[in-house]
């Protein structure tokens, strides 16, 4: 798993926070716009765990709700009024919250966007490489389809920069396989129930398909195929615990999990604290590079077996930490407790 990360910080990237270096006196604000999604819940728990493990954070001020760019801008402005030292934000819409992020920077607040890009130039970004995530999975899928046929393309949330970046990666792979056609394109909103109903509705049409690419809503898609007795076409998803388990256990299922650690939230806390301590990175953007684990080769099966963790929630990525960026234990992230809790 150590090949996930591509550092943009030079020597700074190797320096970890230590609990004894500074007093716990920072307040960090958090803004997230999706609830009820296991990936986002792991992200929030990683933020809490890293804030606690750092020993530098006295308090977290978390705005965690289902909302749009306007609602997130309101949340960010509330965090500004609360005079937090830094804001870790997973953006609903990069352009839609730019003004609010600029106001935070003007107020002297460090802004770190996690998981997705933002357009505000003063913000720092530490993100999973979303375009490469989609490209790796889509290319593998189209190869498994024999380079031809119909694919069901199950995207994330419309307007989210991660979804837009993944769309670029998916279409880059699609351009390499001109005989693969998109039979159905849906937006799951990264919601399990919604994604499952969408694939069930499509199965009910009777229109044949040869593969399914998902934007991290994956184990319920396999459940739908099994429950409806539809053909077990190849499926690509993320490294969520439930899907990884299925790739190890569901007979006849061919699939691949592409790593997309929710622990990027904890990495965002580390980066924010480094900047607050006066260690600004040389570059504004740090990308965590994905890996693909598949179950059609012996090497891939071994990776999946090693990665499996049935003790985690099925919707949580098994990549619960990021080397060089998170210092909490498994017990701490699972406990999901921040400073003072």
Count of alpha carbons within 13 angstroms of residue 87, beta-carbon side: 34
Tokens of 177: 């396989």
Residue of higher predicted confidence among 61 and 23: 61
pLDDT confidence band for 1 (50 / 70 / 90): very low
Partners of 29 in the beta sheet? 61, 87
Closest listed residue to residue 84, CA positions, set 70, 104, 100, 102? 104
Residue of higher predicted confidence among 268 and 160: 268
Residue of higher predicted confidence among 227 and 19: 227
End-to-end CA distance of the chain: 31
Q: How is 244-282 classified by DSSP, letter by letter?
A: HHHHHHSTT--EEEE---TTHHHHHHHHHHHHHTT---S
Helix, coil or strand: residue 283: coil
- Integer CA distances (angstroms), 177 to 141, 152, 205, in order: 11, 15, 25
For residue 182, how many other CB atoms are within 10 A of its CB?
Answer: 14
How high does pLDDT run on average in the chain? 92
Burial (Cβ within 10 Å: 0-12, 13-18, ≥19) of residue 23: exposed
pLDDT confidence band for 23 (50 / 70 / 90): low
**Statement: residue 2 has pLDDT above 80:** no
Rounded to a whole number of angstroms, the CA Rg of the chain reads 20
Handedness of CA 15, 17, 20, 23 (dihedral sign): positive
Closest listed residue to residue 186, CA positions, set 163, 205, 206, 168? 163
155-172 burial code (b ≥16 CB/10 A, e <16): bbbebbbbbbbbbebbee
Identify the weakest region by mean pLDDT among 23-32, 42-51, 74-83, 118-127.
Answer: 23-32
Say which residue the tokens 């600029």 belong to.
102
Whole-angstrom distance, CA of residue 333 vs CA of residue 44: 9
Whole-angstrom distance, CA of residue 101 vs CA of residue 123: 7
Which pLDDT tens digit goes with each residue over 95-145? 999 999 999 999 999 999 999 999 999 999 999 999 999 999 999 999 999
Whole-angstrom distance, CA of residue 336 vs CA of residue 10: 31
Q: How is 173-224 classified by DSSP, letter by letter?
A: HHHT-TTEEEEEEEE-TT-HHHHHHHHHHHHHHT---SEEEESS--HHHHHH
Whole-angstrom distance, CA of residue 241 vs CA of residue 317: 6
Residue of higher predicted confidence among 246 and 20: 246
- Integer CA distances (angstroms), 76 to 72, 88, 129, in order: 6, 10, 25
* Domains of the chain (ranges, CATH numbers): 2-129+261-290+320-335 (3.40.50.2300), 130-258 (3.40.50.2300)
- How big is the CA angle at 134 (ends 9 and 207), to the nearest 5 degrees? 170
């Amino acid at each position: 798993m150590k090949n996930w990360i591509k550092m943009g910080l030079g020597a700074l990237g190797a320096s970890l926070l230590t609990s004894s270096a500074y007093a716990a006196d920072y307040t960090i604000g958090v803004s997230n716009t999706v609830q009820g999604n296991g990936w986002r819940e792991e992200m929030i728990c990683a933020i809490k765990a890293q804030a606690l493990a750092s020993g530098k954070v006295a308090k977290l001020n978390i705005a965690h709700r289902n909302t749009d760019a306007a609602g997130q801008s309101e949340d960010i402005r509330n965090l500004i009024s609360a005079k937090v030292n830094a804001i870790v934000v997973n953006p609903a819409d990069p352009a839609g919250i730019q003004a609010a992020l600029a106001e935070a920077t003007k107020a002297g607040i460090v802004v770190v966007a996690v998981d997705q890009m933002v357009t505000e130039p003063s913000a720092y970004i530490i993100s999973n490489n979303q375009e490469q995530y989609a490209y790796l999975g889509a290319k593998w899928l189209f190869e498994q389809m024999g380079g031809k046929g119909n694919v069901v393309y199950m995207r994330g949330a419309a307007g989210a920069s991660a979804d837009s970046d993944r769309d670029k990666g998916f279409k880059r792979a699609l351009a390499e396989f001109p005989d693969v056609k998109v039979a159905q394109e849906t937006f799951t909103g990264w919601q399990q129930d919604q994604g499952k109903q969408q694939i069930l509705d499509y199965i009910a049409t009777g229109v044949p398909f040869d593969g399914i690419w998902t934007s991290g809503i994956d184990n319920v898609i396999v459940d739908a195929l099994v429950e409806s007795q539809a053909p077990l076409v190849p499926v690509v998803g993320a490294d969520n615990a439930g899907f990884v388990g299925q790739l190890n256990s569901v007979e006849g299922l061919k699939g691949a999990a592409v790593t997309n650690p929710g622990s990027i939230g904890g990495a965002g806390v580390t980066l924010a604290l480094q900047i607050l301590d006066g260690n600004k990175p040389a570059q504004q953007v740090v990308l965590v590079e994905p890996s693909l684990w598949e179950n059609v080769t012996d090497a891939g099966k071994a990776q999946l077996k090693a990665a499996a963790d049935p003790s985690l929630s099925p919707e949580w990525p098994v990549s619960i930490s990021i080397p060089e960026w998170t210092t909490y234990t498994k017990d701490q992230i699972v406990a999901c407790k921040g400073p003072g809790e």
